[in-house]
Homo-oligomer: A and B are copies of this chain.
Amino acid sequence: MPPPPAVMVAQSTGVSKSGSQQALGGGGNRYDQTADDWGEQQDDWDDDWDDDNDTYSEIGPGSSAAGRSNGQTQSYHQQQQQSATSSYYANANLPAPPPSDGDTMSLASVATTAGGGRSRAAGTGKIFSKSGDNYLMGMPVPDVSEADRVHVLLMEHGIVWKPMRDSYTVSVDSPKKEKKFNGLKSFIAYQLTPSFNNIPVARRYKHFDWLHERLVDKFCLIPIPPLPDKQISGRYDEEFVEHRRIQLQEFVDWVCRHPVLSTCGVWMHFLTCTDEKKWKTGKRTAEKDPLVGTMFCASVFPPEKTLLQSLVEPQVESAGQFVPQMDAAVKTLFAICGDQSKKFQVQWKKEYQRIGEGFSEMARALAVDERRAATQLSLSSSVGQAAGVFINIGQLFGEQPKHDFIPFSDRLHIYRGLLAGWPDTLGEYRNAVQKRKDCERLTAEQKMENVQMQEVNRRVDVMSYALLAEMSHFRAERDTHLKDTIRNFIGEQIEFYKSIVQKLEQAQTHF
């Protein structure tokens, strides 16, 4: 298939994608991505971002450094590792190296930059972007191995990703502050243990960040859950590290539940590679993956059946209305959670402690008078007990956000990131539809061959299938994951207020 005529490139400039980005206040798929964030890569946190001196200890558990610092847990996992003969997933799963450069690719690259592709991809001079042009406009589709193929099924209840054969979980555990360069530099390595092999791997935030970038680049039709926000100060603070662990667990859980993400090569590499050499090879392979952006669709295998545009369009239209509304709602609740967390931790805690101190003051005053004439009943002591209970309730308030508002906001953070990704995803589809219209016109004017037009139609269908499958997945996730989230939130609030009742009942026994 020849490269698309130049006129089409010009027409595709400024597709709806950029419009949807503006509606959500700008920003790319990483909703919290700002120029500053990227600038931070130069600071201490990211100083070894592309450090080829990565020590083995940062990748797998077998290094002496990790072995030393992880202690007992590590020993257990080492045994597990030795008993497991091999990983279920081999690096062979990683995509094949990209085809060698040629004229076609150079042209596609130019088209991408002109076509309003992601500034990040364009700016860093990447070969592939997410612009629909590459895939739709006749980029040659490389052979995709069976392992890398993604299937879409047409089920009774809708169009879905082919469900996972073996679902699994990954636990993100006990981060350790580790040291390298003879203790001159320290870093936090989280321990990831997949349920399918029970072999822990140590991963730093920067590894997650690298992985995240790969996933965002690769899956243009799948919004990727966000990582926890970057943070410069206090990142060795125990509470911060533990909270980030929980947030990373949320990220990992979401990926694990996704039929496409949970089986993709770069994720498996991230999850299982314990060998330094293989890590570097896999890393470079992933960075040169040709099936990124819309080209990912080359690995999507949907049903043969042609999709009616009248079936797809209303769904996309509806999603286009849903996404900004849901995004606004999630942001509102996220802000409320942050606000309430602070109020519980500071204000309400203080209020109840103040009540306690008031009672305590009264107890001390009563004690003065009870020294004058002691009676069997010591009101002073009763009031003192009540004081203690109220101070205690204050502490409950202070600790409560850890149980309800913060976990809730961690979940909302995931949705916030995903919802920020949806406009781009929908934009890719709208871009493709626009391209198809252009091609239809060209075909009508006999400037494009029918066979080419058929191929464009088929490829738009593939993208549509993928989009609808992802919409189904997101919907299903919401219906379980978001529901769980709210149930847990309410459940924790119930426990909280119950424990206040218990404390108060304890106080009441003194009166």
Contact = CB atoms under 8 A, between A and B. Distances in A.
A158 to B, nearest CB: 7
A458 B414 CA distance: 84
Interface string A316-353: 00110110011011101100100010010000000100
Interface in A9-30: none
**Total copies of this chain within the assembly:** 2
A358 to B, nearest CB: 4
Given A314-B372, A326-B366, A511-B483, A358 B379 contact: no
Interface in A483-497: 483-484, 486-487, 490-491, 493-494, 497
Interface in A464-511: 475, 478-479, 482-484, 486-487, 490-491, 493-494, 497-498, 500-501, 504-505, 507-508, 511
B483 A382 contact: yes
Nearest to A377: B479
A358 B332 contact: yes
A361 B386 contact: no
B318 A372 contact: yes
Nearest to A478: B379
Given A319-B369, A369-B475, A386 B483 contact: no
A368 B322 contact: yes
A319 B483 contact: no
A444 B296 CA distance: 115
| Most chain B beta-carbon neighbours within 10 Å: one of A314, A371, A373, A491 | A373
Contacts of A340: 351, 355
Interface residues on A, range: 35 or more
Interface of A: 157-158, 314-315, 318-319, 321-322, 325-326, 328-330, 332-333, 336, 340, 343, 351, 354-355, 357-359, 361-362, 364-366, 368-369, 371-373, 375, 377, 379, 382-383, 386, 475, 478-479, 482-484, 486-487, 490-491, 493-494, 497-498, 500-501, 504-505, 507-508, 511
Nearest to A348: B348
| Most chain B beta-carbon neighbours within 10 Å: one of A379, A484, A497 | A497
A318 B371 contact: yes
Contacts of A343: 351
A365 B328 contact: yes
A336 B475 CA distance: 48
B494 A497 contact: no
| Most chain B beta-carbon neighbours within 10 Å: one of A366, A490, A508 | A490
14 contacts: A157-B375, A318-B369, A319-B369, A322-B365, A326-B366, A326-B368, A333-B359, A366-B478, A375-B479, A386-B490, A487-B511, A490-B507, A491-B508, A497-B501
